[in-house]
Amino acid sequence: MNDEQDAAIVIPAIEINPLVDRCIAECRADSPGADIILLLDTAPPEIGGDDTYGGARVIVTGPVTISAKRNRGAEATDRTFLAFIDSDAYPAPGWLGNAIRELEKDPMLGICGGPNVSPPDARGSERYVGLAQKSVLVTGHLNFRKQKAAARYCDDLPSCNMVMRRTDYLALGGMDESLYIYEDKDLCRKAVEAGKRILFTPDVLVFHRDRPLNLFINQRLVWGANIWTTAPRARRASDLIVFLPVTAVVFFLSGAVLPWLSIWGWVWGPVAGLYGALIAVETVRRAERPGDLPGLALALVIGNLGPGVGAVLGPLGLLPDQRRLYRNFE
């Protein structure tokens, strides 16, 4: 048995779509013999009599969280390694084998992952979102994960590209099924607290489709709306970075008092101007061609301030159907 045959690839999804089809096909091509487990809300009409679809085993979970789906996948296999990938992503050649070899070399390595980069065929506003997510203004100090950066140990990795031993996953209690997002941060926190290392390495790479701008807005709003449930779990100063966007949004909203408190303009005006200059500089720096400039600038603002807007709207009950908003496919 080769390394990949001793692994299960867990793919949570809502329903079948072309992105899911590509994910399954590329996983089969990269890791023949792996146990590919597809977890869906409802059974697709194309499902085989043996509960398979496209070479993947299908488990129908109902409308549960992504965390719950990954836990069901881990429970449904006896393979040594678990590989988590999102339904709108697909692996680069060698993805799973490279990760398993790193885990086999180091018994204290708890999680191995790598870049999740834009696919080479990205087009339209997906390109702008992909470029924006390489910026520190959108992904902060973790922007190395959106490009083929040098290998390093880190505090956490996203669950769109995460490989670990099944025994370690189960020992940590799996993912917290009550979390709608940030479940990967929570799992990584538990791994580090258990004395395990987390490795980012560029040869464990997946191509992760960027949402078009309209779905990117929704994603950032939902992320922001959920920071309040994750705040009590913060253990590091870097965890508090998620609160910077809401701080910025509240500051910009404070401009509404200028007609009655004109002196505030001496603070608000320069800060707003500096923010605009930062967006302009980063737009020029990240753009690949002149036509990118308007769309990229918009994507940077959405990526930077969107979570802050969501953090304000969420507690007010103005983002009621977050599951629908968070969809990655129209």
The structure tokens listed for 63 are 């409308």
CB-based contact 219:181 (threshold 8 Å): no
The structure tokens listed for 313 are 């709207």
Residue recorded with tokens 């609160």: 243
Identify the burial level of 246 via C-beta atoms within 10 angstroms of its C-beta, where 0-12 means exposed, 13-18 middle and 19 or more buried: buried
Nearest-angstrom CA–CA distance, 293 and 285: 10
CATH of domain 4-114+157-210: 3.90.550.10
Nearest-angstrom CA–CA distance, 233 and 193: 12
pTM: 0.93
Handedness of CA 133, 179, 245, 252 (dihedral sign): positive
Handedness of CA 319, 323, 329, 330 (dihedral sign): negative
What residues are paired with 7 via a beta bridge?
81
pLDDT per residue rounded down to tens, the chain (330 residues): 567 789 999 999 999 999 999 999 999 999 999 999 999 999 888 776 678 899 999 999 999 999 999 999 999 999 999 999 999 999 999 999 999 999 999 999 999 999 999 999 998 999 999 999 999 999 988 999 999 999 999 999 999 999 999 999 999 999 999 988 889 999 999 999 999 999 999 999 999 999 999 999 999 999 999 888 876 666 666 677 778 899 999 999 999 999 999 999 999 999 999 999 999 999 999 999 999 999 999 999 999 999 999 999 998 988 878 878 888 876
CB-based contact 6:78 (threshold 8 Å): no
Nearest-angstrom CA–CA distance, 229 and 99: 31
| Model pLDDT, residue 190 | 95
Alpha-carbon 116 to chain mean position: 9
Phi, psi of 112 (to 5 degrees): -125, 135
Alpha-carbon 161 to chain mean position: 9
Question: In whole angstroms, how far apart are CA 273 and each of 139, 255, 267?
Answer: 22, 13, 10
Nearest-angstrom CA–CA distance, 86 and 206: 10
DSSP state letters, 306-320: HHHHHHHHTTTT---
CB-based contact 152:200 (threshold 8 Å): yes
C-alpha radius of gyration, the chain, whole number: 21
Domain ranges within the chain, ordered by starting residue: 4-114+157-210, 215-325
Which residue, among 18, 12, 19, has the nearest Cα to 83 in the 3D structure?
Answer: 12
What letter does residue 209 receive in the DSSP assignment? P
Nearest-angstrom CA–CA distance, 134 and 147: 7
The structure tokens listed for 220 are 């950032």
The structure tokens listed for 147 are 């490009």
| Model pLDDT, residue 227 | 85
Nearest-angstrom CA–CA distance, 162 and 191: 13
The structure tokens listed for 328 are 């990655």
